[in-house]
Structure 1
């Protein structure tokens, strides 16, 4: 699959809680997380997702350190602007701050993290357009947008992707959002693809893990990757290895139907 005109790995890596939590940085495990991200890149996972909110921007700094010295044209960096920063000049400043923390020449995919009803989408998208024109951002996307909001945003600029929650415990995107995206060439990026661990205890998943000789996480990611790019977080190189080998097999059609039934 192409993402921002680059060949994207079928599964990505999320960085939520790497380097801190909600706007609060944590520097205690920096070396570990940098090594985890670099290991993922070495395993062929080239989609790295972060946000200005993660650790107050520190997750972006860790991504910047991890990609330093590597072939930037083979890496897809996604970051996101927080909904309180969606006015024109705030978007510009947020993107430039993210770029500085990433220590990169550009951001591949810049997403509106959540919609904000108090700021007109036209204003935000015009700022996004300016970022593309000046080369700060390669392409623009959204996150947590409904079909209606996507249609409104697309009046002002092309949307490359929509990042939404999508897992076996939350299959709602399959109803309307994913068909809309597929019809319009918009990629779906799945956050919380493992349902924050809940999907792994699903009895159907456990049975399929035995059938295929795989882990429950690999079964779930294999299902989610059929129509999206899942971006699970991996806290260790072992988790990265598990994720990286989750798509080298194919679920039978009847097993896909089994998981589709909620």
Structure 2
């Protein structure tokens, strides 16, 4: 039996369908960011290939003085693109701060109201934010307090859809009592299998929520190690794809609610990631990848 990936995925229970691979914008705005022209070219390549979900955050920047950098870059790239972008969704996040380049949580309702407005403006200020996600729960505030600004922003026409990130099942349930939730963005890759055991992936499947794995290839250190995992390297060679595309195909085969968001800062990187949507895995091949990184 072969598993064939459907090239599109539904966003929650909405009528919106998305290409099976999204573009993660973070690498284009951190301290190691490429030239702006390269970032724009990367976004344009993704659009050329049919990608219609771009994931960003207000905190994808170098530090607090640089806040909303990635959102502004994505908006500029969309403005400069010669093709139709009416079907492209930009998903952003709020709730993290970047003091001196570090990462800290801030679930203050007042802060979130301000950053939602700033994200709305950074993304053009002409239409609602397609998908706004609470970046990570802040233990200093209740889920209800932190998500009330998102509910208000939906009612005010600043946000279209709402998602959460780095949430447990119980926290997702609390969030859904405040505002409709369409997606969950948690870490998931061959080395980080927590969503398989903590109930989040199962909950998303049962409740019709889209699961967006962040760091789907395991981060910079793991990415460099992938070629050294013999079972994965051998299978990738047999299929004529990169080890990265193979791992993304494995994630896609895990569940129809999964839509990976691999980061990219070069056009060839997102081009390689998109190939994963065409990869077919037999049950045996799927198990080979599944077991190759289990310690």
TM range (shorter): over 0.9
Q: 2:200 aligns with which of 177, 200, 212?
A: 177
Asked whether the 8 Å contact 1:13–1:45 carries over to 2, the reply is yes
Task: In structure 1, list runs of 5 or more residues that go unmatched.
Answer: none
- Match status 1:33 vs 2:36: no
Structure-1 separation of matches of 2:112 and 2:235: 45
- CA positional deviation for 1:86: 2.5
Q: 1:186 aligns with which of 187, 194, 209?
A: 209
Structure-2 separation of matches of 1:32 and 1:122: 40
Q: 1:157 aligns with which of 176, 179, 184?
A: 179
- Match status 1:88 vs 2:88: no
- Structure 2 partner of 1:122: 144
Asked whether the 8 Å contact 2:75–2:122 carries over to 1, the reply is yes
Q: Could you say what secondary structure the match of 2:57 adopts?
A: coil
- Structure 1 partner of 2:72: 61
Q: Could you say what secondary structure the match of 2:131 adopts?
A: strand
- CA positional deviation for 1:90: 2.1
Please, what TM-score do these two structures have when normalized by structure 2?
A: 0.82
Structure-2 separation of matches of 1:16 and 1:179: 27
- CA positional deviation for 1:217: 0.7
Residues 85-234 of structure 1 correspond to what in structure 2 (within 5 A)?
A: 85-104=106-125, 105-175=127-197, 176-196=199-219, 197=223, 198-226=225-253, 227=255, 228-234=258-264
Q: Could you say if the C-alpha distance between residues 203 and 2 of structure 1 is closer, same or farther in structure 2, counting changes exceeding 3 Å?
A: same
Q: Could you say if the C-alpha distance between residues 221 and 81 of structure 1 is closer, same or farther in structure 2, counting changes exceeding 3 Å?
A: same
For the aligned residue pairs, the C-alpha RMSD in angstroms reads 1.8
Asked whether the 8 Å contact 2:226–2:233 carries over to 1, the reply is no
- CA positional deviation for 1:72: 4.2
Asked whether the 8 Å contact 2:22–2:51 carries over to 1, the reply is yes
Q: Could you say what secondary structure the match of 1:246 adopts?
A: helix
Asked whether the 8 Å contact 2:246–2:279 carries over to 1, the reply is no
Structure-1 separation of matches of 2:274 and 2:209: 24
- Structure 1 partner of 2:269: 239
Q: Could you say if the C-alpha distance between residues 199 and 190 of structure 1 is closer, same or farther in structure 2, counting changes exceeding 3 Å?
A: farther
- Match status 1:2 vs 2:10: yes
Structure-2 separation of matches of 1:5 and 1:138: 13
Q: Which range moved further: 165-174 or 85-94?
A: 85-94
Asked whether the 8 Å contact 1:169–1:199 carries over to 2, the reply is no
Q: Could you say what secondary structure the match of 1:92 adopts?
A: helix
- Bigger RCO (CA 8 Å, 6+ sep): 2
- Structure 2 partner of 1:48: 54
Structure-2 separation of matches of 1:250 and 1:36: 26
Task: In structure 2, list runs of 5 or more residues that go unmatched.
Answer: 1-8, 62-66, 97-104
- CA positional deviation for 1:200: 4.4
Q: Could you say if the C-alpha distance between residues 149 and 241 of structure 1 is closer, same or farther in structure 2, counting changes exceeding 3 Å?
A: same
For residues 81-132 of structure 1, the C-alpha deviation after alignment (integer angstroms, 9 at most, x for no partner) is 0244433332221111011111152211111111101111111222111111
Asked whether the 8 Å contact 1:99–1:107 carries over to 2, the reply is yes
Q: Could you say what secondary structure the match of 1:111 adopts?
A: strand
